[in-house]
Structure 1
Amino acid sequence: MGDLTDTLKLSAGGMQAQATRLRHVTENIANADTPGYRRKLTAFRQAMAAGAVETGPVTLDPGALERVYDPAHPLADENGQYLGSNVDLVIEIADAREAQRSYEANLRMFDQARQMTRSLLEILRR
């Protein structure tokens, strides 16, 4: 029974980590047009439990900010340029799909462990 509850904990932790990752991806997409915005990167690290994963500290992408030419923009310099964001929507969409699929895999594992626990309890009641 302990292995099944450990599986439930592991998959729940994986779902929580992927939900955090997906939240940061959506923040990146929402701020793609915000001047000076640096995309947030989510790192994963091993948790205290064997095999468990959790999110580490959020870091900002050190990549160069895009230079945008728009002389009418209030942040534009004397050359008519300002610093945009370093968010690439194609990368963010790919990250969102990967997080979604990982979340779904953890959800299936959680559901299987829950069904096995229910079956075991029914057998023990007989």
Structure 2
Amino acid sequence: MSAFSDALSVTTTGLRAQATRLRVLSENIANADTPGYRRKTMPFELQRVDQGVVGVQPGRVRLDQSELERIHDPSHPMANEEGFYEGSNVQLIIEIADAREAQRSYEANLKMFEQTRQMSSGLMDLLRK
């Protein structure tokens, strides 16, 4: 029965990590047009769940240090003397692709969780007979 609880623990860590990743990606998408906004990135780190069982956990959120987009709009309140201001470094195509990947990974973890739970329930039914 331990293998079932280990599998459930690992899939649970995957669900939590992907949910956190989706939150970070949605913040990036929401702030794509915010001047001076730096894209947030979040790596995954290995996490020991039980004896010898390893899962994942969200790492520390970091700011992308790539250059901010330089936008020419002399009428913008944040524009300098030359008419430029710094936009964000968020690229919507990348964020949407990452969000789709995170969503699919979340769904795969959820499917694995459900299958493990069904297998555990089936085993209990067999043992009762």
The answer to whether the superposition gives a TM-score over 0.5 is yes
Q: Which runs of 5+ in 2 are unaligned?
A: none
Give the length in aligned residue pairs.
Answer: 126
Aligned residue for 1:88? 91
SS at match of 1:48: strand
Task: Tell me by how many angstroms 1:51 deviates.
Answer: 2.9
Alignment partner of 1:99 is 2:102: yes
Alignment partner of 1:10 is 2:13: no
SS at match of 2:13: helix
Q: Distance in 2 between matches of 1:8 and 1:71?
A: 56
Identity %: 58
Task: Tell me by how many angstroms 1:96 deviates.
Answer: 0.4
Task: Tell me by how many angstroms 1:74 deviates.
Answer: 0.6
Aligned residue for 1:25? 25
Amino acid of the residue matched to residue 72 of structure 2? Y
Aligned residue for 2:66? 63
Q: What TM-score, normalized by structure 2, do the two folds share? A: 0.95
Alignment partner of 1:110 is 2:109: no
SS at match of 2:85: strand
Q: Which runs of 5+ in 1 are unaligned?
A: none
SS at match of 1:45: strand
Aligned residue for 1:77? 80
The structure 1 segments of at least 4 consecutive aligned residues displaced by more than 2 Å after TM superposition are: none
Q: What TM-score, normalized by structure 1, do the two folds share? A: 0.97
Higher strand share: 2
SS at match of 1:68: strand
